[in-house]
Amino acid sequence: MRAVWYWRGETPLVKLHPGRESVHFYGTLNLHTGHEIVMPTKVMNAETTALHLQQVLAAYPDRPILLFLDRAPWHQGPALQAVLAANPRLELVYFPPAAPDLNPQEHVWKATREAVSHNHGVPKLARLADEFEAHLESTAFPCSLLEDHGYDRICAMFK
C-alpha cells in the first residue's frame, strides 16, 4: 500500500494491465564487491535457477564459489544437482527457514524496488524491467554479512 495525493472527493484511477504481465529476476550478490549478477526471466523454477548458476560460474571462472540461497522451492531439484555435480568448485549453503533478514539479496531487492519501481510513472512493464535490471547492474550494494560473522579471521587461518 502506498499513499498518493489526489483531488479531494475523487477516487484515483489505477490502471491495471489485463494480462497481469510479470518479470522475475534472479540475482546473486558478490559479498566482497557489492556487484550484482542479474538474470531476468519469465518463470522461476529449478531449470532457470540452474541457468543462473551457470551465469555465476561464467562470471567467476577461476575461483571456488560459495553461494548462499534461501529455501525457495526453485532453488532445489535435479537441475541444480546436475550443475553441482559438473562444477565441484560451486558449493551451496541454504539460509535457515523464514530468515530473510539474514539474506543480503533481500536487501538488494528492497533497495532496488524503492529506487526504481515504487511510485513509478513507467507505463510499460518491459521498460520498467529494463530500468530495474540496469539499476541492479550499475549499483554497488554494500553488505556486512562476512564481517559480521568473522569471515576475515576464519580466512586468515587457512592462508
pLDDT tier at 154, thresholds 50, 70, 90: low
Taking the CA atoms of 94, 56, 125 and 76 in sequence, report the sign of the dihedral they define.
negative
The three cell numbers of residue 56 are 555465476
Q: Answer yes or no: is 144 within a domain.
A: yes
Q: Answer yes or no: is 17 within a domain.
A: no
**pLDDT, averaged across the chain:** 87
Q: Answer yes or no: is 11 within a domain.
A: no
Task: Give the residue from 48, 40, 47, 49 showing the smallest Cα distance to 21.
Answer: 40
Total number of domains constituting the chain: 1
Taking the CA atoms of 70, 30, 50 and 155 in sequence, report the sign of the dihedral they define.
negative
Q: Answer yes or no: is 4 within a domain.
A: no
Range of the domain at 64: 24-157
pLDDT tier at 7, thresholds 50, 70, 90: confident
pLDDT (average), residues 28-43? 94
Q: Answer yes or no: is 78 within a domain.
A: yes
Residues 42/53, Cβ–Cβ less than 8 Å = no
Q: Answer yes or no: is 16 within a domain.
A: no
Give the global pTM. Answer: 0.79
Q: Answer yes or no: is 12 within a domain.
A: no
Residues 80/57, Cβ–Cβ less than 8 Å = no
Q: Answer yes or no: is 19 within a domain.
A: no
In the prediction, which pLDDT does 74 show?
93
pLDDT (average), residues 93-115? 91
Residue 29 sits in a domain whose CATH number is: 3.30.420.10
Residue 133 has a CB neighbour count (10 Å cut-off) of: 19
